[in-house]
Amino acid sequence: MARGARAQRKAAAPHAGLGSRAAGRGEAKLATRAAMWFDQPMFKGVGGIDLADVTDDDEDGGPGPGAGRAETATLGENGELRKRKRASREGHDAVSDGNESDSDDGFEVVSADEDGGDPNDVELRDAERQADYDLATPEAMTMVRDLVNRKTTKDELIDKHFNRYTFSDSHGLPQWFVDDEHQHSKPTLPISKEAVRMLREKLKALDARPIKKVAEAKARKKIRVAKRIAGVHRKAESVVASSDMSEAEKARSIDRMIKRATKAKPKEKVAVVVARHANRGVQGRPKGVKGRYKMVDPRMKKDLRAEKAREKRKKNKKGGR
């Protein structure tokens, strides 16, 4: 029995050595892979555990010779992280306390991002975006027409804009020189007559639009006329419904009301009052003057009379032609 046990131990001894060596090689490969993995740039700023210390701890069953240093480094980095978190938390608490105090006073503090920003800034950004994409030049109109009519492709258009000024280095040059180069160092783009004609028609349409204030004044005038006509209709209905008047009298009365409603009121003439004798130094409306007036001195009165005479002569010359 003893000889059989010794024989079994001798036979198993070489296999045990092979197994331990294979296990050692596998652990070395894993350690190399782990070292390569944690050597990536994203793990550079992360404070953690040293891989050599981990292997020492695993092999010895306890802390290795570098365990104290690793723990000290980790604690130091964790302490810095804790300080940063504490400072950010204190700042956030201070902001929240300030907001609470403002809300206690009856005012609520709202940040600019939460409020949505100024609507004028939004309109300005929209105007800038429209100016960037608007076809405001003959060159832009020509390029668009060529693209639409398939005279050129997008790639050809991009290739045309690469020239010897595209990548010019302006570092260290004075600003006035850079501005001048930016204005003049550009290739001359082709312009077609059709593009220029279309752009002129577009500008004519823009010029033909009424000014906003003029359009508002015309709209107010239409509203006033509509109100007057509605009043005339109501009066005409009452006249037609009355039985005290004949048909001819009703028709004449309605005609008078329509003429009175549609007749334009004459503009009131401005009374020119010369500031002399009794009107000298008068504050407010002079005596005996009704309606609109204008206080002038003798010199201004003569200038105004001469200006009217010049306008009259101009009208006579135009009529004679």
Tens digit of each residue's pLDDT (9 = 90 or more) over 242-288: 888 888 888 888 888 888 877 777 777 888 777 766 665 566 677 77
59 — pLDDT class (breaks 50, 70, 90): very low
Per the listing, tokens 């294979």 go with: 22
- Residues 6+ away with beta carbon under 8 Å from 64: 52, 53, 56, 57
pLDDT of 68 reads 44
Tokens of 38: 């944690």
Considering the entire predicted model, what is its pTM?
A: 0.29
64 — pLDDT class (breaks 50, 70, 90): very low
Dump pLDDT digits (tens) for 189-222.
Answer: 777 888 888 888 888 887 888 888 888 999 999 9
pLDDT of 132 reads 64
pLDDT of 126 reads 72
Per DSSP, the three-state class of 118 is coil
74 — pLDDT class (breaks 50, 70, 90): very low
Tokens of 285: 């409306």
